[in-house]
Amino acid sequence: MSTTPPPQPPDNPYGPPPTSGPYGQQPPPPPHQAPQQPGPYGGQAPPPFPYGQQPYGAPGPAPWGAPMAPPPKKSRLGLILGIVGGVVALVVVGVGVLVWIGTKSDAGFPEAEYKLTLPQKVLDEKYELAGDLSRSEGKAIEEEADGAWDARDTKAVVGQYSLGGDQAKGTLVVSGMYGRFKNTELARDNMMEGAAGGEGAKVAVKPKDFKPAGADVTVTCEVLVQTQLGTELTIPVCGWVDGNTGASIAEITADTVTKKPAQVDLAAAAETAVRIRDEIRKPIG
């Protein structure tokens, strides 16, 4: 009597069991087994690579399957604000030649009554202080003024401000010094001439003098064009020199930097410079 072989179990309808993958992934349960309760991923297997990354650097979804946002487009202000260091140097050059070198004499110098400061906010709190560069960039100013015949007790002040606390919107550079000065008109002319001597800069609109309403000082403004990475950028620069303070102001915004030089309102720039002077020039003591 022949022996009948015992019945064999049917083929696994899911095919051969897969190997365990990342996070210990297991094969699906057989039909007779009750499904497991959903896990923290809602019943779905967790992403096979950390943070949704695909192997070999291929792009994938963002964390937990959310679509990855495309990278933001580069603002032209990124290029514009890349010149801030250049503008600081440009303005520092201007203030650095504020005085002539010559024989020292104490005759005719005014008393030291005012100094320059760098408030946290200027222009009705529109600009916020982003960096005090008085010790670094200002050193060049102080060295240039050392031994000058028409300046005494000089101290440099250089600050960089950002529009609304965001340098991607605009930047204001204040570069100057305080002490005791004479020959202020000549010093102001020299300051404008020096600003135009910055690297990559040239004068597009010649210096003009302004005396805004209510101001007790003359402000000289000019328009420079500075070339950066093959792009010409328009930069209005204004400056003043009185018996105790002298400074250059350069404001860089999307509006001013993209204008043609002849379109820049220098009278308005002079008014802005006077407003800044009123905010940063303080009595000593």
Q: How many CB atoms lie within 10 A of CB 10?
A: 6
Query: Does pTM top 0.75 for this prediction?
Result: no
**Which residues, including other chains, have CB under 8 Å from residue 116's CB and lie 6 or more apart?**
155, 157, 176, 177, 178, 245, 247, 280, 281, 282
Second CATH level (architecture) for the domain 78-98+114-283: 3-Layer(aba) Sandwich (3.40)
The string of pLDDT tens digits covering residues 195-225 is 877 777 899 999 999 999 999 999 999 999 9
Rounded to whole angstroms, the Cα distance separating 160 from 178 reads 17
**Tens digit of pLDDT for each residue in 238-285?**
999 999 999 999 998 888 888 999 999 999 999 999 999 999 999 998
pLDDT in tens, 8-51: 555 554 455 544 444 444 555 555 554 455 444 444 444 443 33
The pLDDT value recorded for residue 71 is: 52
Asked if residue 190 lies in contact with residue 81, where contact means CB atoms within 8 angstroms, the answer is no
Q: Is pLDDT of 52 > 90?
A: no
pLDDT tens digit sequence for 118-163:
999 999 999 999 999 898 887 777 777 766 777 888 888 999 999 9
